């Protein structure tokens, strides 16, 4: 499901235990030590900076870039939004360049072919396997594969990573990311179960029934979700979950528990989400979560491979959006478009970091569901 033109709304209500119709959230799943309290108050002011971006409508540049990249398929190394806000699509021949121009985007001749870049990612997967704290993705702007390592990769493992990168020459660019990668996340409007706290991403429908999406590493650990840490209203039951490999889960909502499809902007307003789509490199995006509330950033990679200590996931959206424990399973969106579900990351909202998201189009297709 590349471009899901589906009617949806996502609400991220404040992380109040016992509230009904919880709808969205953000990053890491941890033991439920309470919904944040003083930390949420401390972070509330920081959310103000992201509200203007959250209120901005989705641009059409990302739409054009994604549609054209989808059309070219294996003949492009990807698309991105440049510093001037223009959609750019990489090409390898004049015919495809003409197609891109006709579609309202800027063609850029790739320095390396899509096939060559795919061979590099295959080599990294073969050499690095599933080494925790590492990952990689194609950067369409530079025709390189960016390989990252976190703070846990040291000594012989760092030497092996550098050796692997050198073997690929200039086709690989190494990046160090702060902190340690983790897929243990919390987020958004808090949902509780089994001593853990995660977040509800998007309300969806399947076969006329109400469900909601959250992170797969949350769904693996919890069967029955409630609105409060000590129980209370039952929100739903996990019926399908996928992690590692992917990171998404489907929860059947209890009658009357499903909220409307709006995202809470934490300023007394909500955002009506009207469609779901693929993310594009360079796109400005927003995350809502119970710990860090609204935070904004930019998509830096798509189709990324991430080796979490808990397992390897592929096809992820990489962003500069910050998140912290309490934000897992929550929504990533741009304007009125749903894009992803918080999976995990490294760093925090004080020193900065990197956050990875499961593209929302994949679980929608896998579960035969629609956002509403």
Cα angle, residue 168 at apex, residues 167 and 169 outer, rounded to 5°: 95
Q: What does DSSP say about strands 293-308 and 144-149: parallel, antiparallel, or unpaired?
A: unpaired
Phi, psi of 343 (to 5 degrees): -105, -60
Structure tokens at 274: 């009207």
31 part of the active site: no
Catalytic residue among 217, 242, 288, 327: 217
Structure tokens at 341: 């579900």
Catalytic residue among 242, 328, 334, 343: 328
Nearest to 104 by CA among 121, 129, 79: 79
Which residue is listed with tokens 């850029």?
Answer: 108
Structure tokens at 45: 């002011």
Structure tokens at 230: 């000590």
217 part of the active site: yes
Residue pair 276/261 in contact by the 8 Å Cβ criterion: no
Residue pair 112/121 in contact by the 8 Å Cβ criterion: no
Residue pair 282/246 in contact by the 8 Å Cβ criterion: no
Catalytic residue among 63, 96, 210, 247: 247
328 part of the active site: yes
**Residues recognised as catalytic:** 217, 247, 328
């Amino acid at each position: 499901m590349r471009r899901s033109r589906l009617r949806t709304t996502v609400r991220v209500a404040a992380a109040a235990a016992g509230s009904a119709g919880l709808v969205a959230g953000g990053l890491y799943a941890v033991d439920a030590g309470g919904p944040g309290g003083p930390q949420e108050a401390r972070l509330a002011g920081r959310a103000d900076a992201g509200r203007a971006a959250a209120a901005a409508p989705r641009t059409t540049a990302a739409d054009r870039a994604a549609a054209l990249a989808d059309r070219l398929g294996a003949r492009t190394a990807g698309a991105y939004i440049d510093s001037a806000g223009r959609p750019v699509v990489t090409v390898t021949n004049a015919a495809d360049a003409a197609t891109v121009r006709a579609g309202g985007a800027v063609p850029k001749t790739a320095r390396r072919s899509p096939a060559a870049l795919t061979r590099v990612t295959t080599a990294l997967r073969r050499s690095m396997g599933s080494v925790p704290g590492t990952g990689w993705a194609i950067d369409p702007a530079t025709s390189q594969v960016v390989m990252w390592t976190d703070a846990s990769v040291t000594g012989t493992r760092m030497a092996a990573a550098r050796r692997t990168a050198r073997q690929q020459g200039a086709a690989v660019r190494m990046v160090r990311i702060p902190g340690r990668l983790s897929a243990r996340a919390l987020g958004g409007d808090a949902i509780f179960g089994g001593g853990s706290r995660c977040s509800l991403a998007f309300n969806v429908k399947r076969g006329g029934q109400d469900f909601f999406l959250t992170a797969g590493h949350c769904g693996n650990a919890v069967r029955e979700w409630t609105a409060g840490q000590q129980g209370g209203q039952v929100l739903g039951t996990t019926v399908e979950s996928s992690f590692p490999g992917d990171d998404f889960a489907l929860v059947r909502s209890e009658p009357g528990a499903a909220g409307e499809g709006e995202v809470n902007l934490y300023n007394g307003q909500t955002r009506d989400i009207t469609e779901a789509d693929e993310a594009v490199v360079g796109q400005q995006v927003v995350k809502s979560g119970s710990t860090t509330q609204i935070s904004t950033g930019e998509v830096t990679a798509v189709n990324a491979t991430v080796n979490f200590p808990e397992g390897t996931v592929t096809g992820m959206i990489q962003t500069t959006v910050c998140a912290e424990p309490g934000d897992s399973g929550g929504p990533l969106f741009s304007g009125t478009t749903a894009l992803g579900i918080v999976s995990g990351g490294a760093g925090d909202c004080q020193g900065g970091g990197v956050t990875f998201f499961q593209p929302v189009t994949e679980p929608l297709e896998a579960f035969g569901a629609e956002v509403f």
